[in-house]
Homo-oligomer: A and B are copies of this chain.
Amino acid sequence: MQEYAIYAGGEFITTDNQLKVINPYSGENFAYTYKAGKQELDHAIEKALTLQEDLRHMPAHQRYEILRFIADSLKENLEFHAALISKESGKPMRYALGEIKRAIQTFTVAAEESKRLPKEYISIDWTPAGENREGVVKYFPLGLVAGISPFNFPMNLAVHKIAPAIAAGCPIILKPSSLTPLSTLELAKIIDQTSLPKGAVSIIPMDRESGNQLVTDERIKLLSFTGSDTVGWKMKRDAGNKKVVLELGGNAGVVVTESSDIDHAVNRCLAGGFAYSGQVCIHAQRIYVERSIFNEFSQKYIEKVRSLKIGDPLNPDTDISSMIDEKNAQRVEDWIGEAKEAGAEILAGGKRVGTDVEPTVLTNTKDTMKVCSLEVFGPVVALEPFENFENAIAEVNNSDFGLQAGVFTNRINQMNYAFDRLEVGGLIINDVPTFRVDHMPYGGVKNSGFGREGIKYSILDMMEPKIMVKSIL
């Protein structure tokens, strides 16, 4: 069984608090690492604070080379890193490979953006008081960042915090999910080979108390959290003087109109609904299909869902594998049961064995059912017909969440209407809400989040503007 040291304050260390890592598919405890306590965390914080001036003065070409080196190193061992994701999270290899490729892209974009940090040069002489003056606004690193990342993208969602921090010149302490700590601990080994000052990045699983300290410690200037909405909003309340960015979940809706390409819509809704068993923040949970094409869509969709390959995530053909743990699988089973009891019809799937939940399609659902109103975070989709486009948009908005939405249409007026009305952070035309590329602004409104990620946007959050006004003559 492999041991992974944790990376605190620039050193690989162990602690008294062992953390077992389980393969959700096989149930095997295949590796272990450690949780940090207050002592290790304080050490990491103190070390990080000593590096701030060095990081601020690091020239762009050095930040760039560090970030490129990490990207190149991940690329060299693409399969290895993907397999590790697959083992600790149960994510099918094809999606795990995709995640590593995205992490490479995230580091690459951060490398490029480290040369393009925000800077403004402005005229000041808009009134007589400002005559003969001009200003430059330079963005300086904000200070120590704390990142907390979830199990479902154990690598890339952590990289969305680490990469911009390096680009911005901020030290960062990242707490990975205790379920999936290994991917980022492998990343730590790569980071340790760069010229980044030791301690600029710490990657440490933590016990609950230390996790809380990330929220409350005033030496930390930004808390960037990706996870569940209840935890996230509580953190905002407890965060004291620091900045907070929250990337939370949702119950994203899709609208498929009769002017769309049905086969394309079916295929995309399949990926949107069942990739990584729906354990994705922008999982396509609610699909609204125009009445005139509902039957055709429904038939084709069910057929495709039934043909999904279920099995070992390490098998390259596997479409869908186990959920992250039995507790979650059970919860999803319960919600399906609740829906059924309240009148929902199961068009496909519906059963659970251990951590495995069948890809499930429901119809005749109501907005009061948990599978509709809450974030299901499992392989469950509600499929419903609609009569009228405006109503369909209203239905998507009928939610406490607002991360992303998808609309399949070839009508300009429908596209405009959706963009104007949908209460979301992102609208994907002719694709599922599940679409994301790593440089686009990404984040939710309503309960789905606070702030935006997407390298350039994250970098901006990690920097503080300072204006210098001076004379020009």
Contact = CB atoms under 8 A, between A and B. Distances in A.
Interface of A: 56-57, 59-61, 64, 101-102, 105, 109, 112, 115-117, 119-132, 134-138, 233, 236-237, 240-241, 243, 409-413, 415-417, 419-420, 422, 424-431, 435, 437-442, 445, 450, 452, 464-473
A473 B417 contact: yes
A240 B236 CA distance: 7
A439 B130 CA distance: 11
Contacts of A240: 236-237
30 contacts: A59-B125, A59-B131, A59-B132, A105-B126, A115-B123, A116-B123, A117-B123, A119-B122, A120-B121, A121-B137, A126-B437, A126-B439, A129-B435, A135-B440, A136-B136, A237-B237, A243-B450, A410-B412, A415-B470, A419-B466, A420-B472, A425-B467, A427-B466, A427-B468, A428-B468, A430-B471, A435-B469, A442-B467, A445-B464, A445-B466
Contacts of A129: 435, 437
A128 to B, nearest CB: 6
Contacts of A134: 119
B125 A420 contact: no
Q: Which 7 A-B pairs have the closest CB atoms?
A: A121-B121, A429-B470, A119-B121, A59-B125, A130-B437, A426-B467, A60-B125
Nearest to A442: B467
Contacts of A116: 123
Contacts of A413: 410
Contacts of A419: 138, 466, 468, 472
